[in-house]
């Protein structure tokens, strides 16, 4: 008989799926690394398990302990899967800009959820960064994951996502495009692919209101770049240690409106019911058209599932309210 001993053994080995209609104007093949096939429906399952297993080995996560993390939802889901299987408690701190579906899913998986305001500085005691650090100190036998600076985040993608993409493309990949948040995916995958072929280009998709693109291009952390934005799962108002700018070949920024519209278009034109960051990612690929030529193989990573956005990007009333639809 063939079966997984538990749900964690089903993480990884997600398919590559060709994007057809939306990329018909491009000279190259565009393949989506379709991460919704992970059991928690996102790429974050990979690094959540890696971070927990490395913490167990190092001894900082002890039996019966409590895992504490600031999350936009998907990392929390990955942590929830591992916490249930391994017998830990989980406390998730999430910002109020995230979809209600993400909060409800975390609660459904037995997690304790604290919702914090988005529009405050990272150092503000009300921010989800500060709240996570405080709770990790207050709760006995707690471990603060800190996906932003935890090296096991990028390690997970160096060990799994990168090798999968290389094998699935037969080493023919020429470009990797992905939305950047914590930086683990782009840095881990990018490191592996560059070691295989230094000519592979690694492109990050950023959002307006985030510091990444300007910092990459100028080395200046410009606080004037920071302002509220709607796109979920990418962009930051901090510089996570997991973002290895040396590996990245460039950034392109996608507007909230384009990210939302292309999220809907992926569902309606490609039958790909994926999340908000996937809309940003595929629009980013289209914006990079001039960098692609015939016979190139572009891999774009789609982070999570559309079910987490049915009240937002997949709701036309919400889209009209935000000015994204006429």
For residue 121, pLDDT over 90 is answered with no
How many folded domains does the chain comprise?
Answer: 2
178, 206 contact by CB (below 8 A): no
Looking at the structure, do residues 26 and 167 belong to the same domain, yes or no? yes
Q: What is the pLDDT of residues 260-280, one digit of tens each?
A: 999 999 999 999 999 999 999
At residue 326, does pLDDT exceed 90? no
| Domain identity same for 134 and 282 | no
Q: Which of 115, 144, 173 is the last residue of a domain?
A: 144
- pLDDT bin (cut points 50, 70, 90) of residue 120 is confident
Residue 44 is among the residues annotated as catalytic for this protein: yes
* CA 80 to each of CA 89, 164, 196, 207: distance values in angstroms, whole numbers, following the listed order: 8, 24, 34, 28
Same domain, 286 and 272: yes
Residue 228: inside a domain: yes
Residue 4, number of CB atoms within 10 A of its CB: 10
Tell me which of 121, 144, 167 is where a domain ends.
144
CA atoms within 13 A on the CB side of 247: 27
The answer as to whether 149 is a domain residue is no
123 belongs to a structural domain = yes
Q: What is the pLDDT of residue 107?
A: 95
Same domain, 135 and 178: no
pLDDT tens digits, one per residue of 127-182: 988 999 999 999 999 999 999 999 999 999 999 999 999 999 999 999 999 999 99
Q: What is the mean pLDDT of residues 284-300?
A: 98
* Per-residue pLDDT at 272: 98
Neighbour-count burial for 228-245, b at 16+ CB within 10 Å, e otherwise: ebbbbbbbbbbebbbbbe
Mean pLDDT, to the nearest integer, of 229-240? 94
* Catalytic residue chosen out of the listed positions 2, 5, 44, 241: 44
Whether the predicted pLDDT of 122 surpasses 90: no
209 token code pair: 């209101």
Looking at the structure, tell me whether residues 181 and 34 fall in a common domain.
Answer: yes
pLDDT at 17 exceeding the cut of 90: yes
The model's confidence at residue 34, banded by pLDDT at 50, 70 and 90, is very high
- pLDDT surpasses 90 at 118: no
Residues 72 and 177 in one domain: no
What's residue 149's pLDDT? 96
Q: Say whether both 210 and 289 belong to one domain.
A: yes
Q: Are 14 and 161 in the same domain?
A: yes
| Same-domain status, 183 and 314 | yes
Q: Is residue 86 one of the residues assigned to a domain?
A: yes
Q: How many CB atoms lie within 10 A of CB 56?
A: 17
Q: What is the pLDDT of residue 119?
A: 84
CATH number at residue 91: 3.40.50.1100
Answer yes or no: do 189 and 307 share one domain. Answer: yes
Q: What is the pLDDT of residues 71-113, one digit of tens each?
A: 988 999 999 999 999 999 999 999 888 888 889 999 999 999 9
Percent of the chain having pLDDT more than 90? 93
Residue 1 within any structural domain of the chain: no
Q: What 3-state class would DSSP assign to 148?
A: coil
Look over the chain and give the mean of its residue pLDDT values, rounded to a whole number: 96
Verify that 277 and 136 share a domain, yes or no. no
> CA–CA separation, 258 vs 103, rounded Å?
25
Single out the residue in 111, 144, 177 at which a domain terminates: 144
* Statement to judge: residues 99 and 70 lie in one domain: yes
Residue 274 structural domain: 7-43+154-321
């Amino acid at each position: 008989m063939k079966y997984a001993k538990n749900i964690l053994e089903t993480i990884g080995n997600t398919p590559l799926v060709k994007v057809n209609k939306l990329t018909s104007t491009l000279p190259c093949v565009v393949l989506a690394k379709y991460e919704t096939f992970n059991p928690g429906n996102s790429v974050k399952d990979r690094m959540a398990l890696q971070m927990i297993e490395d913490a167990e080995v190092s001894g900082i996560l002890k039996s019966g302990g409590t895992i504490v993390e600031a999350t936009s939802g998907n990392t929390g889901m990955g942590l929830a899967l591992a916490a249930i299987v391994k017998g830990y408690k989980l406390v998730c701190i999430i910002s109020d800009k995230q979809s209600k579906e993400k909060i409800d899913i975390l609660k459904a998986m037995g997690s304790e959820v604290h919702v914090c305001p988005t529009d405050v500085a990272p150092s503000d005691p009300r921010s989800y960064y500060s709240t996570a650090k405080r709770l990790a100190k207050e709760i006995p036998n707690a471990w603060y994951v800190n996906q932003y600076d935890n090296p096991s985040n990028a390690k997970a993608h160096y060990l799994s996502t990168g090798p999968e993409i290389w094998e699935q493309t037969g080493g023919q990949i020429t470009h990797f495009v992905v939305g950047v948040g914590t930086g683990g995916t782009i840095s881990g995958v990018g490191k592996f692919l560059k070691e295989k072929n230094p000519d592979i280009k690694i492109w990050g998709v950023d959002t307006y209101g985030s510091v990444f693109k300007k910092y990459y291009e100028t080395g200046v952390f410009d606080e004037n770049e920071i302002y509220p934005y709607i796109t979920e799962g990418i962009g930051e108002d901090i510089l996570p240690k997991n973002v290895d700018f040396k590996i990245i070949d460039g950034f392109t920024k996608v507007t909230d409106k384009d990210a939302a519209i292309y999220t809907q278009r992926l569902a309606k034109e490609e039958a790909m019911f994926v999340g908000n960051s996937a809309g940003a990612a595929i629009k980013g690929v289209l914006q990079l058209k001039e960098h692609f030529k015939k016979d190139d193989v572009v891999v774009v990573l789609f982070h999570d599932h559309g079910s987490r956005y049915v009240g937002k990007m997949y709701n036309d009333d919400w889209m009209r309210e935000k000015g994204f639809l006429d």
